[in-house]
Chain A
Amino acid sequence: MRPLSGLLVCAALLASSARAATAVVDATGREIRLAAPAQRVYAAGPPASLLVYAIDPHKLLGWTRALRPDEAAFLPPDAARLPELGRLTGRGNSANVETVLRARPQLIVDVGSTSPYFASLAERVEAQTGIPYALFDGRIEATPATLRALGRLMGEQARAERLATWYEAELADARRRVALVPRDARPRVYYGRGIAGLQTGGGGSINVEVLDFLGAVNVAEEARAGLVAVPIEQILLWNPEVILTTDPDFWRAARQDPRWRAVRAVETQRVYLSPHLPFGWFDFPPGANRLLGVWWAGKLLYPRAFDFDLRAKVAEFYQLFYHREPTPAQLDALLGEPGVLPR
């Protein structure tokens, strides 16, 4: 009787400790239980790919879209060999569920919006495939928590903790620098998207989260959240002091097109183009990568407060999250591209 009950207690203890290691409550409040830490993870969208890859590249089953050569150049050679599995989340859903299953994932992860739509999507896919589906918050501020939760699910607590702590410290540092800039010393910013630069993110939209984090004055704050098209006259009226863009065509056009000439940012040559390799810095994909955008835009908007060496910071981020420090030539290409930084 006694040894048996002792065994039972032991087993129960073991079970509970195992469960404690691999049960995580995701951002929608659902408990994700894994029998063992996931060794094979399918990331449902680019922000999730990036985090899983950062924690352990060997556990990522594939990218949602195969890397292009210019993107792959910034990652170790193994990264380019990962297959294309498609996206399983929201709009532009391109994954074949059977293809995903064939990759034998033990965990599906999505990082991004945690609205009821995405939560119900997660539940559906989980019910359909029988594979645990964790959904985490993709906001910049939530990245450390997401990293930690993901680290537990993947059994990589130490590595995830290191990334999370580093990320937290960097966010705190950026926040401290932002606080140094008085409200009235913050320039009015327009973020121009699309080849004509006439689309922007309204106040509170995911596209301008970097601006919101920086406490910057988004001229389109009054527009509804989400991507909106704006008349060029409205931009003249807003008369932004700085224009940021992710589109090289618009960056060129803004500097040459007479319609933009009267905008203050164009007059004073403060129109800047965000780097985008291997993943965008400023807007998309909307993931942890946008810390780079925080630094970049911080330096452009508040040069005195963000007085660090951007080159060294970028190298550090790439080393930590992309597992490869950029070569000096790559850093030159990233930061020296016309429009990225003031001359």
Chain B
Amino acid sequence: MRSTLLAYVLALAALLALTALAFTVGRYPVPIGQLIDLLIGKSQALPPTARTVLFEIRGPRVLSALLVGAALAAAGTAYQGMFRNPLVSPDILGVSTGAALGAVGAIFLSLGVFATQLFAFGGGLAAVALVYWIGSRMRGHEPMLALVLTGVVIGTLLGSAIALLKYLADPYNQLPAITFWLLGSLAAIAPQDLAVAAPLALAGLAPMLLLRWRVNLLSLPDDEARALGVDTRRLRSVVVAAATLMTAAAVAVSGIIGWVGLLIPHAARLVVGPHFGRLLPLSMLIGAAFLLAVDTLCRTIAPIEVPPGVLTALIGTPFFLWLFALSRRGW
């Protein structure tokens, strides 16, 4: 218990320190003194650009990195617990692929930024709804296995639809836009994106937090859970819906950023064990800090943007393999 508390404190401290650092660095130099003045409200005398950078550009971007990181990590934690499988990531049921198809479709139809986000969000929800609907009708199979397999096949189908749209897209204009979206990035975040995505992600988080004790039971075999008086089917659908809502909200504004939802729950579980109630908050803290660190690098190390998915994979792959080699314990 004391080590859990320590882990929380450390993660929170790291997150706060990183957030403070993230606010102070960026391609556009804003002196720390000005930043502090801005934050305490003495902004009248300052150049308007500093204000714009802090409140319209860097601030929303830092907050969105925290939000997306936490959301992906939370969804990953929920899915990994539910599926009792360490290789599960939030897109196992097709949310990312569905969102990608929605966004690619919107770009293909030359719709605007907001429509692209809306299509991505709707596509993510629709894909998971479809997978869940089909998967839960596969009677005679272990329900989790049916869900995962359905998710894999539907994901492949959606992937082909994306490929078709890329193929048909205008190669000079739409194809680069699609490629950039699929790479994922927080570069285009505006305050209004955050204002829409944050409430949706919180709406997904609320049931997870409220049900955190029961979610543990999902990792038990169905009959055992039922013996404890839990309607696993209903609970599972609530958790899937919540995790999907969080992921779809995140992906709609960020594009596809891999590894966070797969890697972070592992790291957190290594510290505090598999208990969902303890695992979820720590996972979110680490996820937020991780993506913030990655995104801060992405927007500062070069005049051009570095795709965050590339950095998360570069960091994630060796770390994941190391964790995997290290951990032998089961659920």
Contact = CB atoms under 8 A, between A and B. Distances in A.
A194 B177 contact: yes
A174 interface: no
A195 B52 contact: no
A326 interface: no
Nearest to A276: B173
Contacts of B185: 229
B160 interface: no
A230 B168 CA distance: 26
A219 to B, nearest CB: 9
B313 interface: no
Contact of B176 (A223, A227, A230, A286): A227
A237 B303 CA distance: 10
B303 A195 contact: no
B305 A236 contact: no
B180 interface: yes
Contacts of B169: 92
B305 A229 contact: yes
A157 interface: no
Nearest to A94: B167
Q: Secondary structure of the A side of the interface?
A: loop
How many residues of B sit at the interface, in one of the four size bands? 35 or more
Given A195-B116, A259-B190, A223 B303 contact: yes
Interface string A211-238: 0000000001011100111111110110
A: contact size bracket = 35 or more
A144 B73 CA distance: 58
Most buried by B among A90, A230, A234, A286: A234
B225 interface: no
B56 A283 contact: no
B187 interface: yes
B171 A196 contact: no
Residue of A65, A196, A222, A286 with most partner-chain B CB within 10 A? A196
Contact of B187 (A91, A195, A198, A283): A198
Interface in A165-204: 193-196, 198-199, 202
26 contacts: A65-B170, A195-B107, A195-B112, A195-B177, A196-B113, A199-B176, A220-B303, A223-B303, A223-B304, A227-B176, A228-B304, A229-B307, A231-B187, A231-B304, A231-B305, A232-B57, A233-B26, A233-B27, A233-B57, A233-B58, A236-B27, A253-B113, A257-B190, A258-B52, A258-B191, A261-B48
Interface of B: 26-29, 48-49, 52-53, 56-58, 107, 112-113, 116, 167-173, 175-177, 180, 185, 187-188, 190-191, 299, 303-305, 307
* 7 smallest beta-carbon distances between A and B, as pairs: A92-B171, A284-B172, A196-B188, A229-B305, A262-B49, A233-B28, A234-B27
